[in-house]
Amino acid sequence: MTTARDKSCINLKLKVWRQKGPDVKGRFEAYKARDISTDMSFLEMLDVVNEKMILSGKDPIAFDHDCREGICGACGTVVNGRTHGPEKGTTLCQLHMRHFSNGDTVVIEPWRSRAFKVVKDLVVDRSAFDKIIQAGGYISVNTGGAPDGNAIPVPQEAAEKAMDAAACIGCGACVAACPNASAMLFVGAKISQYTLLPQGLPEAKKRALAMIGKMDELGFGNCANEAECEKQCPKEISIENIARMNREFLKAGLF
């Protein structure tokens, strides 16, 4: 049996936000995570803690996850004040326990935003992002045969910028990191990935007005140029996309 005295095993003190529902007052509760392998991911550490809680008849900590490969955007909490934890360009499921030291106190809480209601503990309702996408995050294509992939030429620079914007996984870290709980990095990325490509230009004005209007309606804050969203985004989406979104919005309003 391994113990925290082994270099590959650590003991941690956890302060976890517990909340039974959106209308129930939440609080931090303290837990001990013992004999945690440094090879584990952060979510695997929570799995171990939950297994011990279940065996002792306690309610396990609720948290979001799915692919655990940094692809789906389902996971995400604030760890010691940082969305997805201390490592740059890393989702919570990709964060490993080797980045923590034996005896550390780890504070874990959910995304904080009026638009992201707490479902339970660390789980929040991020369907607001879905509503923004439904408002205009798509292109309309006439039915018929699929066009050839090379039928419409796309400049390489535009294609690369569009791909960079499309890397957004919609996890909500930008909202949680922003002092104003702004979703402008997410919306900017989604608007940019279409605006930069010729296929998205016919609906560019309508898209900008609809998505930004829905974002405001849902209660997200406005950008204050803090750039925390870019710094803590697991996919390192550039705030240039916010500037592009603002230009698209102005053009749509004027013309």
Percentage of residues of the chain with pLDDT beyond 70:
96
What CATH number did the domain enclosing 86 receive? 3.10.20.30
Do residues 59 and 167 share a domain?
A: no
45 in a structural domain: yes
Distance of alpha carbon 33 from alpha carbon 52, whole angstroms: 10
Do residues 62 and 136 share a domain?
A: no
Q: With 80 as the cut, is the pLDDT of residue 25 above it?
A: yes
156 in a structural domain: yes
Do residues 133 and 248 share a domain?
A: yes
Q: With 90 as the cut, is the pLDDT of residue 142 above it?
A: no
97 in a structural domain: yes
Percentage of residues of the chain with pLDDT beyond 90:
89
Which pLDDT does position 255 carry in this prediction?
74
Do residues 78 and 105 share a domain?
A: yes
1 in a structural domain: no
Question: Considering only 45-49, 135-139, 171-175, which range has the smallest mean pLDDT?
Answer: 135-139
Q: With 90 as the cut, is the pLDDT of residue 241 above it?
A: yes
Do residues 55 and 132 share a domain?
A: no
Do residues 160 and 250 share a domain?
A: yes
Do residues 240 and 130 share a domain?
A: yes
CB atoms near residue 213 (< 10 Å): 14
**Burial (CB count within 10 angstroms: exposed 0-12, middle 13-18, buried 19+), residue 187:** buried
Do residues 107 and 130 share a domain?
A: no
Which pLDDT does position 148 carry in this prediction?
74
Which pLDDT does position 146 carry in this prediction?
72
Q: With 70 as the cut, is the pLDDT of residue 238 above it?
A: yes
Q: Which of 48, 59, 51 is nearest to 19 (CA)?
A: 59
Q: With 70 as the cut, is the pLDDT of residue 143 above it?
A: no
Do residues 133 and 171 share a domain?
A: yes
194 in a structural domain: yes
Q: Is the dihedral of CA 232, 233, 234, 240 positive or negative?
A: negative
Q: How far is CA 89 from CA 21, 131, 237, 238, in A?
A: 30, 26, 10, 12
3 in a structural domain: no
Confidence of residue 3 (pLDDT cuts 50, 70, 90): very low
Number of domains comprising the chain: 2
179 in a structural domain: yes
Question: Structural domain of residue 100, as residue ranges?
Answer: 9-118
First to last CA, the chain: 70
Do residues 133 and 181 share a domain?
A: yes
Do residues 133 and 86 share a domain?
A: no
What CATH number did the domain enclosing 172 receive? 1.10.1060.10
Do residues 74 and 137 share a domain?
A: no
205 in a structural domain: yes
